[in-house]
């Protein structure tokens, strides 16, 4: 492991480590940190129906913990990789913490407003190195051309905003509609919207819909040599951070951490 990798690795691993402490709530409200094994058994033993079926068994607790924990693992991997992506862009392009953050407000029926956030931003005029700035702008131009964005609209764009995800299989229409609204707002605020997916796990229909709505979508392809479609080619060739190599050389560390989390989730633990 390179010494320079440690800070980046911690960005990914710290959220993942939280998963090992996951405890299911069993309908006991959103507050608190879930029920321990002994609390679960006390709850289920007090219910005659569950007791008759033996649902107070520690393995039932382990099953609940694994089911909820797996969702948490994917979510926390996404959170960690989002932080890594944003930090790598900041460091590689010479941007500030403020430069790489983007949000906007939407009005609510009650007269208040809600702030929505995307995962990263690259404002072209904030990239201090001219060659990097020109390279990034050329990538934006090619991406906009591939989407069929009118040249007159592209001429108004001042940068790119990013939505970063580990994968995207969900058919949740509410989530998709929110992303489409984000894209529309991005264009009105002179930004090209880009979804950077770190795996190849994205539903084909979603991919087509997002590109039809003028999202640039990058996925986790590694053998394309095309920064217009590959997250890893984009990071290496346009940003200047070889994200695929980073994951490869630290793969054993990442795998070991995931193994520890899985062991914790698949065991009921001590009562």
- 29: confidence class by pLDDT, cuts 50, 70, 90: low
Q: What is the mean pLDDT of residues 50-73?
A: 91
Residue 28 pLDDT greater than 80, yes or no? no
Could you say which DSSP state residue 51 is in?
A: H
Least Cα distance to 220 among 229, 210, 212 occurs for 229
**Confidence (pLDDT) at 123:** 98
Q: Please, what is the end-to-end C-alpha distance for the chain in angstroms? A: 38
**Confidence (pLDDT) at 78:** 94
**Confidence (pLDDT) at 84:** 98
Prediction pTM value: 0.89
Cα 38 from chain centre? 34
CA angle 28, 32, 33 (to 5 degrees): 100
Instruction: Give the residue, 1 or 167, on which the prediction is more confident.
Output: 167
**Tens of pLDDT, residues 163-198:** 999 998 777 788 888 888 899 999 999 999 999 999
DSSP-based three-state secondary structure for 116 = strand
Residue 68 pLDDT greater than 90, yes or no? no
Residue 1 pLDDT greater than 60, yes or no? no
Q: What is the mean pLDDT of residues 118-135?
A: 98
Question: Which residue's entry shows tokens 């390179």?
Answer: 2
**Tens of pLDDT, residues 241-261:** 999 999 999 999 999 999 999
Residue 266 pLDDT greater than 90, yes or no? no
**Confidence (pLDDT) at 124:** 98
Instruction: Give the residue, 134 or 174, on which the prediction is more confident.
Output: 134
**Confidence (pLDDT) at 27:** 79
Average pLDDT, the chain: 92
Percent of the chain with pLDDT over 90: 74
Question: Which residue's entry shows tokens 């994205």?
Answer: 202
**Confidence (pLDDT) at 25:** 87
Query: Distances in Å between the alpha carbon of 9 and those of 70, 89, 131, 198, 247?
Result: 21, 15, 28, 16, 9
Query: Distances in Å between the alpha carbon of 36 and those of 61, 63, 64, 110, 224?
Result: 9, 13, 12, 40, 47
**Tens of pLDDT, residues 191-236:** 999 999 999 999 899 999 999 999 999 999 998 999 999 999 999 9
Least Cα distance to 169 among 195, 210, 203, 199 occurs for 203
Residue 49 pLDDT greater than 80, yes or no? yes
Structure tokens at 155: 């001429």
Structure tokens at 252: 């054993």
């Amino acid at each position: 492991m390179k010494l320079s990798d440690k800070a980046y690795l911690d960005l990914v691993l710290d959220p993942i480590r939280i998963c090992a402490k996951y405890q299911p709530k069993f309908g006991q409200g959103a507050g608190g940190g879930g029920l321990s094994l002994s609390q679960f058994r006390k709850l289920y033993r007090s219910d005659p129906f569950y007791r008759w079926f033996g649902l107070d068994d520690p393995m039932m607790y382990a099953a609940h913990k694994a089911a909820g924990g797996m969702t948490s693992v994917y979510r926390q991997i996404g959170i960690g990789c989002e932080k890594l992506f944003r930090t790598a862009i900041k460091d590689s392009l010479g941007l500030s913490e403020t430069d790489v953050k983007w949000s906007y407000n939407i009005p609510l029926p009650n007269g208040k407003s809600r702030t929505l956030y995307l995962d990263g931003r690259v404002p072209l005029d904030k990239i201090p190195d001219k060659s990097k700035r020109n390279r990034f702008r050329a990538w934006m131009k090619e991406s906009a051309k591939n989407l069929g964005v009118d040249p007159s609209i592209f001429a108004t764009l001042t940068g790119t905003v990013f939505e970063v995800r580990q994968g995207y299989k969900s058919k949740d229409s509410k989530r998709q509609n929110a992303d489409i609204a984000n894209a529309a707002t991005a264009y009105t605020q002179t930004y090209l919207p880009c979804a950077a997916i770190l795996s190849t796990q994205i539903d084909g229909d979603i991919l087509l819909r997002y590109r039809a709505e003028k999202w640039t979508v990058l996925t986790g392809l590694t053998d394309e040599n095309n920064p217009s479609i590959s997250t890893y080619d984009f990071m290496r060739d346009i940003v200047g951070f070889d994200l695929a190599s980073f994951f490869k050389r630290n793969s054993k560390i990442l795998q070991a951490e995931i193994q520890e989390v899985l062991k914790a989730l698949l065991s009921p633990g001590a009562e």
